[in-house]
Amino acid sequence: MLTNPDLRNKAMTLRPEGLIKGTKGGKREVAYPIESIEELSMIDQVLRDESVKFLSETIDSGEPFYLIHSFSKIHNDNYPAPKYKGKSPAAMPVRDAMIEVDDITGELMALLKEKGVLENTLVIFTSDNGANEDTWPDSGYHPWRGGKGTTWEGGVRVPGVVYWKGMIEPGQINNGLMDLTDIYMTSLRLGGVMDKLPDNLYFDGIDQTAFLLAENGKSRRQVVYMWNRTDFCALRWLDYKIHFKVFNTVIPRRNIDASVLQDIGTAPWVFNLNMDPKEMASTGHQYFEWGVPQATKFMKAHIGTMKKYPNTDIGLGI
Amino acid sequence: MLTNPDLRNKAMTLRPEGLIKGTKGGKREVAYPIESIEELSMIDQVLRDESVKFLSETIDSGEPFYLIHSFSKIHNDNYPAPKYKGKSPAAMPVRDAMIEVDDITGELMALLKEKGVLENTLVIFTSDNGANEDTWPDSGYHPWRGGKGTTWEGGVRVPGVVYWKGMIEPGQINNGLMDLTDIYMTSLRLGGVMDKLPDNLYFDGIDQTAFLLAENGKSRRQVVYMWNRTDFCALRWLDYKIHFKVFNTVIPRRNIDASVLQDIGTAPWVFNLNMDPKEMASTGHQYFEWGVPQATKFMKAHIGTMKKYPNTDIGLGI
Amino acid sequence: MLTNPDLRNKAMTLRPEGLIKGTKGGKREVAYPIESIEELSMIDQVLRDESVKFLSETIDSGEPFYLIHSFSKIHNDNYPAPKYKGKSPAAMPVRDAMIEVDDITGELMALLKEKGVLENTLVIFTSDNGANEDTWPDSGYHPWRGGKGTTWEGGVRVPGVVYWKGMIEPGQINNGLMDLTDIYMTSLRLGGVMDKLPDNLYFDGIDQTAFLLAENGKSRRQVVYMWNRTDFCALRWLDYKIHFKVFNTVIPRRNIDASVLQDIGTAPWVFNLNMDPKEMASTGHQYFEWGVPQATKFMKAHIGTMKKYPNTDIGLGI
Amino acid sequence: MLTNPDLRNKAMTLRPEGLIKGTKGGKREVAYPIESIEELSMIDQVLRDESVKFLSETIDSGEPFYLIHSFSKIHNDNYPAPKYKGKSPAAMPVRDAMIEVDDITGELMALLKEKGVLENTLVIFTSDNGANEDTWPDSGYHPWRGGKGTTWEGGVRVPGVVYWKGMIEPGQINNGLMDLTDIYMTSLRLGGVMDKLPDNLYFDGIDQTAFLLAENGKSRRQVVYMWNRTDFCALRWLDYKIHFKVFNTVIPRRNIDASVLQDIGTAPWVFNLNMDPKEMASTGHQYFEWGVPQATKFMKAHIGTMKKYPNTDIGLGI
Amino acid sequence: MLTNPDLRNKAMTLRPEGLIKGTKGGKREVAYPIESIEELSMIDQVLRDESVKFLSETIDSGEPFYLIHSFSKIHNDNYPAPKYKGKSPAAMPVRDAMIEVDDITGELMALLKEKGVLENTLVIFTSDNGANEDTWPDSGYHPWRGGKGTTWEGGVRVPGVVYWKGMIEPGQINNGLMDLTDIYMTSLRLGGVMDKLPDNLYFDGIDQTAFLLAENGKSRRQVVYMWNRTDFCALRWLDYKIHFKVFNTVIPRRNIDASVLQDIGTAPWVFNLNMDPKEMASTGHQYFEWGVPQATKFMKAHIGTMKKYPNTDIGLGI
Amino acid sequence: MLTNPDLRNKAMTLRPEGLIKGTKGGKREVAYPIESIEELSMIDQVLRDESVKFLSETIDSGEPFYLIHSFSKIHNDNYPAPKYKGKSPAAMPVRDAMIEVDDITGELMALLKEKGVLENTLVIFTSDNGANEDTWPDSGYHPWRGGKGTTWEGGVRVPGVVYWKGMIEPGQINNGLMDLTDIYMTSLRLGGVMDKLPDNLYFDGIDQTAFLLAENGKSRRQVVYMWNRTDFCALRWLDYKIHFKVFNTVIPRRNIDASVLQDIGTAPWVFNLNMDPKEMASTGHQYFEWGVPQATKFMKAHIGTMKKYPNTDIGLGI
């Protein structure tokens, strides 16, 4: 027999410590240890409490604040907090978790309202990657190709909701391009500290304040660049998505767990996302031969910034 | 909605300038601007006129000449000149374009004949890559695997017709290997300037004068090497094709637009083109284990020349 | 026609010389030339005779000995020695060859017994790679995924039989991990020369003497690392197999002849070999998110040894 | 050469006659002959004129009316009427055709309003099959699996808009099941002629009057049955889709042109459309073993009606 | 939204009743109702108790007995009885269930021994189909192609253990063919009631008494026939497996849930199970052209018995 | 172990008898027994001798004659007669066999010439199916899709050479459709016995005498119908091939041994053989919607003849 209980038990003892609390260069402590599924299921409740505490204290103090509230759910496996179990119509963990996330969002918004700061707080709700469809039925879902772990639309296209009472007209839908890095620059601008950016660094983000706030604001972003670790894979420009490396999913619905990154031969693959949002039929040289050189220029300029301002190795890569 | 007319119009303004005329280091002008499909359809007529003018003037002047006449057709999309529309039995653009190319070839040959230089002019008709099958029904066609943009036979095997009145016996068929680079060296030899080649450069071509002209001439070329950009992919030796990297076409008939370049694991893939010209069943180690070391030696020697005489970056690569 | 007899004959003259005999830095001679299938079929008989001669002389001389007896069979193509043709129930070459190998093994063991050295000889019977399934019906066979030339279990999992009269209790089955490199270190220990290893080299092997000899011995090996040429591809740890690069077999049963080595995107592929020995369903982040960081640590440490003690180029690579 | 102009011309003379006008058992005439792409492009304009004429005359006459207005667009190939060419943001035929269809719908609605019959006219806008994705970029588009010509959701799920001024509260969204056959029965009920249905025929439709008109109306339809010609393929029940035969699309995006109908082995394939609307991961026996017997009962009862009331052969089948 | 709680709850109420107890033509009662996972997990304990009761009473009464003890486990989903949870080294449900089945088998055997009937009881332990690999990691596992729901070896090849104290020499391994139907005929023979078989019925089984009991007994079965519902699919003869219809598994490891039954074109597919037990490379006409006619004869004779003695419809088919 | 020598030997005794000689209703004898590969290799030499004897005797007697000379080669496995071994440039069995077939054809033609009957003998050289590519390198080869055992062009398109000294102008190439059944009707016409055909039978063949003999003869055949056993699969009409059932080859190059016959869903698959002779891209409804109804009419008329004049069961079917 391959396994013996000793080996298995050994594997089982490899656990994350739990929620870590710390400051840059400062001390680091396990704020909430996680040693069981039960504790794991409460993680977003704990995080909510932390944010409530931080917001309450900071707002009361009159200080400006900048909060990134990251949910643990809806990743996989999903363990909704006990009071959310079976609360979704489908009564499935991922859907129950969605309701939990929705509730917490509402609680945080209610707090902002109660504290009277909605008129001077910009709220952005978004995700850092597309849904992981690998683990159905405990996974998100979307109509796109690919999923988390790829640079197909299923991995990089995420919803974004922006709210600012009195500043942004509710109900608008806008298809301008926006990148997560733009949040950083826009925040700096709104915080009035744009001039404090160091000169010797390169910032990918674009200040999108006008896009978000102006009536009929237009995105200042022309191109979105998509990377997988150290590989530049694709870019979005106008209606077009141009792939320079592609992911092939070997088993249906197993993107992050069973897709391979592949070099393209001679020509990039081009998709017209307006006509073909599922990226099924490359338009090829037939429809876009004049635009590929333009896209290639963008790519080269972008990679040029990487060469001029190389990434700092902060230990994330292999 | 994703698209707005502004974006689309912007993309549409990205056009090629048209036919460029210039000399090395000299001036560069747009000799024939192209701003419409109608102008595009006339491109080979314009090019024919240019060649006719060049040939007439040069021959009349008594100067020797060296002309490379490149057709725009039959690339994709094909827009036959108006008078060729519907002229092929199939009445399809690619076939109409073939007739246009055929006519122009005949016109140029007739000019050579009329000018009385057929006896001292070597004419070679060939292509720089296999047909692009991606865009059926507006594409070439062939019985091989792969197509333009791959190093399968469909991408690299092209017909070659050689004509010299009085010097080459018409009607011969010869299966000796010949590479496009051989045309360069053979031309130098026939032009009597072989001794003017610089010493500090490496030339891949082989002088095939004897192969083309001698009775029962034998090709001096033993191996053909096949690259994709900076990747050495395959070589042809005797009846064998040995692949060191391969192209996998993800969607049928979408070679250049949907194929990926893949590393081979431990062993090269070997095909016997005599028994298997469609490269369907690799012979593997079973039939060729003694020859692979020999092929590997060729590959190493070839790559060695690249290391000793590195390519000059003339801006084509990524 | 593509082929002419001259070319074919030329290819056919590329043959191995035969069995080479030599010593490091000493002379090198063709001990047994091979120029026909008939001579090829006798190769294991010749090798057996060599080993019998070596063993007899060395044992009689009272010297200690270390013999690696490598069979030519059961590689492909298999040409059993004449007296073994049709001797297997299936009467197929690969099976006849198996009987020949079995007989020779028995003959060598009988010699050790006859010479009275079984009590002080450690005998290990194993293989350096999994069966090549490409060439059915002339191939080995196994229940695993992949085959020779891949790092799936079909390429790297091999049987191992260890025998030492009076020292190892017969009939034991043990699933501890053992790597071929461990044989080297274990042999050094048993030979009493462990202290003569040079300091400036790195040895991957582990001394498994206790594992093999002690009652209920436990393997000291925690991880097995799997490479393809210069690519680190996978590791085995506990019940888990973690792939960092994978092989995709393009045509069923054509591993070494038609598989490609592929980069994985963002996350390694994890298989639980206890539950899924055929490596069919990756467990992914769902079951193993805590273990992957551990596996990545092993990988980094392992690759670190390669950087510190780089491989010597002995001419095997490309 | 395969083709000659005679053969081609012969094929080209096989044309549809054009729009046919007739009454059951009455005369049949070509109301609008179609012999060119130009005439074809006007077909929906002609049909609109016919409907306008019919509606105007009938409403003026005070007679009740029942009109099925079928658009020719957006089928393939799409040839928008001249005034719609380039009118969509994407300026592609299929999108221009959508605008033409949208305009005509608006014109017919405006006519109903002008004639003052909106309060007593039920308007249903829907489609008889999902979009044909075979012919991109001249095709519809949807997020589902399969397309026209299959019984995957892409072939059978269509939008349905129901309008009745003063009778149906605008803006409602309802996910109750409704089948095209239900329109027939509901129309009969609303027309007050339900009691005139012959006794010896079987009607698949369900009277959905209450569903459409009642506040919070609930669909009376429990199951939707899906056929391909004479093959019963699938049914929808609650959240579940149960396939008894399936379509496999051999080439991506080539449903009607390159999919095959396949028998399922032992067990039906079950999808939970709520969790998996793209029908990617069958839930199998794991999640639904208790429901499959129920679905099978529905299927048997349904097929029983076919046996008791066999289809009349009206010449549509093979 | 598609789902509402009402619909979901409705689906959830569709449950099996539980264990049914009854006699042919006699009364039918729910002996053990199942309304929860907890009750489901105890099902094999309940069945064991039933068998223990039946065996004890019958043996004590001196009556002969014939018991078919069917396990609920290891089907899917597996819910081991509470005391078996985590008891397997892998601590996975399917493995825990295996241990539960093993224990119960041991308990029943111990009872036979305790009651002193081992010497006159024939015990057969086997399965009615191969493992269902669809639901990994909660599934069985095997090295064959296909799985439950197909007629590849993975669906039809099962282990069989036969035990009779004093009558069958323990430890024998025999590869003679045996079909489940043979158990019926062999039981009749051993029960001495062979002569009571009705004349007007056809029995597929073969009396294998001699095969099981005689020293070096040889199977009297020459051919095994494999059906899928009403489709004759394959037969086994000597070393050969001849497929007349095949299953193609559309998604890896999804046999019963995602395989299709396909007609073969002109020629059956032939596999040599001795050389190729995984049914990977059909031997085709190349190796077996003389045997296929023989196999076809077997098939025709077998199907002839179906025509002469048609199956009684007992309500299992569609 | 699965196999034992008894079973294997039993399988090996199942052999064909050899060449059978007989007349309809008359006696039947084994004219040339075949019990070894050596005897098998001589089979075409024996058949040649038979034809030579028949031709010589019949011509000398002054009788008219009709000879169908069927080659055993180049089927698989190919065993060229001893004197042809290694005689082809590739020195492979299938190529050596081609040379043997070529020689025999030449010998029979020489005999006709020697006997002075070339002027009144029509000679047709053709094949009854496309090459079997399954068994490379011992197989034929062609550029088409599919192979023997399918109704793709690879299975049904064969060369045909027609010769009649003085009656047919040599060197002509003609692409008119001709079916093997036309040979029968044409022979009857040329034999002057057309009026002796029975009235109660249906003949698929067409008298193509004028096509073969007239200057610029045109084929009278408009459609070719393609069947697989009892399934009507496809038809050829003008440049078009319309498939009603298709073959999908599961493993590359394994047509007859690993292809499945599949039902098409709603619409036939249409290929334009002029533009796409490899049948790679179905033109679908986009290019041919007007022609499919015409093709369907041909199909129905053709199947109608099968219903009116059902096939006689001569024991070939399953």
ipTM: 0.87
Contact predicate F53/F93, CB 8 Å: no
Give pLDDT tens digits for C144-191: 999 999 999 999 999 999 999 999 999 998 889 999 999 999 999 999
**What is the interface size between A and B, counted as CB pairs within 8 Å?**
71
Question: Could you tell me where the beta strands, DSSP code E, fall in chain A?
Answer: 18-22, 28-33, 123-126, 160-163, 223-228, 231-237, 240-243, 245-249, 259-264, 269-272
Q: Which of A232, A245, E253, A133 is nearest to C262 (CA)?
A: A245
C-alpha angle B250-B256-B258 in degrees, rounded to nearest 5: 25
Q: Are strands D123-126 and B28-33 parallel, antiparallel or unpaired?
A: unpaired
- Rounded to the nearest 5°, which phi and psi values hold at B123? -110, 125
The model's confidence at residue A8, banded by pLDDT at 50, 70 and 90, is low
Residue C273 identity (one-letter amino acid)? L
The model's confidence at residue F1, banded by pLDDT at 50, 70 and 90, is very low
d(CA B84, CA A215): 54
pLDDT at position B147: 93
d(CA C72, CA F195): 72
- Cross-strand pairs, C243: C234, C269
Of F143, F277, F281, the CB nearest to B253: F281
Percent over 90 (pLDDT), chain D: 56
- E121 vs A294: which has the higher pLDDT: E121
F132 to chain E, minimum CA–CA distance in Å?
11
Find how far residue B234's CA is from the centre of its chain: 17
The token pair at E306 is 């179906």
Q: Would you say residue A7 has pLDDT above 80? A: no
User: Chain F interface, mutation test: which of D2, D34, D78, D152, most F Cβ atoms within 10 Å?
Assistant: D2
Q: Is the peptide bond before F74 cis (omega within 30 degrees of 0)?
A: yes
d(CA A214, CA F136): 70
The token pair at B202 is 């490496």
C311 to chain A, minimum CA–CA distance in Å?
21
Of C266, C277, C286, the CB nearest to A149: C266
Least confident of B98-112, D22-36, D117-131, E229-243: D22-36
Order of all β-strands in the sheet with B240-243: B223-228, B231-237, B240-243, B269-272
Unique residue bearing structure tokens 């034992």: F4
pLDDT in tens, chain B (318 residues): 334 555 555 555 555 567 888 888 888 888 898 878 888 899 999 999 999 999 999 999 999 999 999 999 988 788 999 999 989 988 889 999 999 999 999 999 999 999 999 999 999 999 999 998 887 788 888 999 999 999 999 999 999 999 999 999 999 988 899 999 999 999 999 999 999 999 888 899 999 999 999 888 899 999 999 999 889 999 999 888 999 999 998 888 888 888 999 999 888 898 989 889 999 888 876 555 566 778 888 988 998 888 888 877 765 544
The model's confidence at residue A290, banded by pLDDT at 50, 70 and 90, is low
- Rounded to the nearest 5°, which phi and psi values hold at E17? -75, -35
The model's confidence at residue A3, banded by pLDDT at 50, 70 and 90, is very low
Interchain proximity B8–D91, CB inside 8 Å: yes
**Secondary structure class of A233 (helix, strand, coil):** strand
Give pLDDT tens digits for D221-239: 999 999 998 899 999 998 8
Give pLDDT tens digits for D42-97: 999 999 999 999 999 999 999 999 999 999 998 878 899 999 998 988 888 999 99
Contact predicate C260/C250, CB 8 Å: yes
Unique residue bearing structure tokens 């249905």: D197
Q: Which residues of F touch C251 (CB under 8 A)?
A: 251-252
The model's confidence at residue D174, banded by pLDDT at 50, 70 and 90, is confident
Interchain proximity D239–E76, CB inside 8 Å: no
Q: How far is CA F93 from CA B231, C117, D171, E20, E141, in A?
A: 37, 53, 76, 66, 43
Give pLDDT tens digits for F162-185: 999 999 999 998 889 999 999 999
Give pLDDT tens digits for C112-155: 999 999 999 999 999 999 998 887 788 888 999 999 999 999 99
Establish if C38 belongs to a structural domain. yes
Establish if C74 belongs to a structural domain. yes
A261's enclosing H/E stretch is strand A259-264
d(CA C241, CA C291): 11
d(CA A311, CA A309): 7
User: Chain F interface, mutation test: which of B95, B136, B287, most F Cβ atoms within 10 Å?
Assistant: B136
The model's confidence at residue D285, banded by pLDDT at 50, 70 and 90, is low
Domain of C89 in residue numbering reads as 16-121
Unique residue bearing structure tokens 């039929």: A281
**What is the interface size between B and D, counted as CB pairs within 8 Å?**
19
Q: Which of B194, B195, B51 is nearest to B123 (CA)?
A: B51
Establish if E42 belongs to a structural domain. yes
d(CA E1, CA D173): 9
Q: Which residues of B touch C76 (CB under 8 A)?
A: 285-286
| Long-range contacts of residues F206-214, Cβ cutoff 8 Å, at least 24 apart | F206/F179, F206/F181, F206/F182, F207/F182, F208/F178, F208/F182, F211/F174, F211/F176, F211/F178, F212/F122, F212/F162, F212/F164, F212/F168, F212/F186, F213/F164, F213/F167, F213/F168
Q: Would you say residue F252 has pLDDT above 50? A: yes
d(CA D286, CA D265): 17
Tally the domains of chain C. 1
> Does D touch C (3+ CB pairs < 8 Å)?
no
Interchain proximity E282–F77, CB inside 8 Å: no
Q: Which residues of A touch C238 (CB under 8 A)?
A: 7-8, 10-11
- Rounded to the nearest 5°, which phi and psi values hold at F200? -90, 15
Q: Would you say residue C4 has pLDDT above 70? A: no
Q: Show Cβ contacts of residue C217 under 8 Å, excluding neighbours closer than 6 positions.
A: C174, C176, C210, C211
Establish if B214 belongs to a structural domain. no
pLDDT at position A219: 94
E260 to chain D, minimum CA–CA distance in Å?
4
Q: Would you say residue D16 has pLDDT above 70? A: no
Unique residue bearing structure tokens 């017909």: B159
- Rounded to the nearest 5°, which phi and psi values hold at A191? -80, -5
Q: Which of D258, D254, D260, D259 is nearest to D135 (CA)?
A: D254
C312 to chain A, minimum CA–CA distance in Å?
24
Establish if F94 belongs to a structural domain. yes
Give pLDDT tens digits for F120-162: 999 999 999 999 888 878 888 899 999 999 999 999 999 999 9
Contact predicate B34/B47, CB 8 Å: no
d(CA E85, CA F298): 67
User: With an 8 Å Cβ cutoff, is D210 touching chain B?
Assistant: no
Interchain proximity E247–D263, CB inside 8 Å: no
Interchain proximity C262–A259, CB inside 8 Å: no
D residues 61-90 lying closer than 8 A (beta carbon) to A: 89-90
The token pair at E98 is 């295996």
Least confident of E153-157, E267-271, F189-193, F290-294: F290-294
pLDDT at position E318: 41
Q: Would you say residue D145 has pLDDT above 80? A: yes
Count how many Cα atoms sit within 13 Å of the Cα of residue F275 in the half-sphere of its side chain.
24
Interchain proximity E238–F150, CB inside 8 Å: no
> Does E touch B (3+ CB pairs < 8 Å)?
no
The mean pLDDT value for E48-72 works out to 96
Contact predicate E183/E266, CB 8 Å: no
Q: Which residues of C touch E238 (CB under 8 A)?
A: none
E258 to chain C, minimum CA–CA distance in Å?
15
Interchain proximity D175–E1, CB inside 8 Å: yes
- Cross-strand pairs, A249: A259
Contact predicate E212/E162, CB 8 Å: yes
F162's enclosing H/E stretch is strand F160-163
Establish if D23 belongs to a structural domain. yes
The model's confidence at residue F285, banded by pLDDT at 50, 70 and 90, is low
What average pLDDT does the structure give for chain E? 88
- Rounded to the nearest 5°, which phi and psi values hold at F40? -60, -40
The model's confidence at residue A11, banded by pLDDT at 50, 70 and 90, is low
Query: Nearest 10 degrees: CA dihedral of A294, A298, A300, A305?
Result: 160
Which of A56-60, A71-75, E239-243, F33-37 is predicted most confidently?
A56-60
Q: Would you say residue C101 has pLDDT above 50? A: yes
Among chain C residues, the shortest Cα distance to B296 is held by: C318
Find how far residue B300's CA is from the centre of its chain: 25
Among chain B residues, the shortest Cα distance to A299 is held by: B318
The mean pLDDT value for A283-306 works out to 76
Please report, in angstroms and rounded to a whole number, the separation of the first and last CA atoms in chain A.
33
What average pLDDT does the structure give for chain C? 88
pLDDT at position C196: 92
Please report, in angstroms and rounded to a whole number, the separation of the first and last CA atoms in chain F.
33
d(CA E130, CA F54): 59
**Secondary structure class of E205 (helix, strand, coil):** coil
pLDDT at position D162: 96
**What global pTM score does this model have?**
0.91
Establish if E127 belongs to a structural domain. no
Please report, in angstroms and rounded to a whole number, the separation of the first and last CA atoms in chain D.
33
d(CA E19, CA E46): 9
User: With an 8 Å Cβ cutoff, is D52 touching chain F?
Assistant: no
pLDDT at position A14: 52
Tell me which chains share at least 3 CB pairs under 8 Å with chain F: B, C, D, E
Residue B288 identity (one-letter amino acid)? F
pLDDT at position C234: 96
A261 to chain D, minimum CA–CA distance in Å?
20
Three-class HEC string of E208-258: CHHHHHCCCCCCCCCEEEEEECCEEEEEEECCEEEECEEEEECCCCCHHHH
pLDDT at position D1: 33
The mean pLDDT value for C236-261 works out to 89
Tell me which chains share at least 3 CB pairs under 8 Å with chain E: A, C, D, F
Q: Would you say residue C95 has pLDDT above 90? A: yes
Give pLDDT tens digits for D161-171: 999 999 999 99
Q: How many helices (H) and strands (E) does chain C have?
A: 10, 10
Q: How many residues does chain F have?
A: 318
E32's enclosing H/E stretch is strand E28-33
d(CA B306, CA B308): 6
The mean pLDDT value for F192-197 works out to 92
E95 to chain C, minimum CA–CA distance in Å?
9
Region for residue C242 given its phi and psi (left: phi exceeds 0; alpha: psi -120 to 50; beta: otherwise): beta
Interchain proximity A291–B11, CB inside 8 Å: yes
Least confident of A58-72, A168-182, A214-228, F280-294: F280-294
The model's confidence at residue D112, banded by pLDDT at 50, 70 and 90, is very high
Q: Show Cβ contacts of residue B63 under 8 Å, excluding neighbours closer than 6 positions.
A: none
**What is the interface size between E and F, counted as CB pairs within 8 Å?**
71
Tell me which chains share at least 3 CB pairs under 8 Å with chain D: A, B, E, F
Establish if A42 belongs to a structural domain. yes
Residue E212 identity (one-letter amino acid)? L
C142 to chain E, minimum CA–CA distance in Å?
9
Of C89, C136, C283, the CB nearest to E281: C136
Q: Which of D233, D239, D235, D246 is nearest to D277 (CA)?
A: D239
User: With an 8 Å Cβ cutoff, is F177 touching chain D?
Assistant: no
C230 to chain E, minimum CA–CA distance in Å?
30
C-alpha angle C197-C202-C203 in degrees, rounded to nearest 5: 70
Q: Which of E259, E258, E257 is nearest to E248 (CA)?
A: E259
Q: Which residues of F touch C89 (CB under 8 A)?
A: 1, 3-5, 8
Q: Which of A90, A116, A88, A89 is nearest to A101 (CA)?
A: A88
Burial of E161 (0-12, 13-18, 19+ CB in 10 A): exposed
pLDDT at position F317: 47
Of C149, C258, C318, the CB nearest to B282: C258
What average pLDDT does the structure give for chain A? 88
Interchain proximity B284–C256, CB inside 8 Å: yes
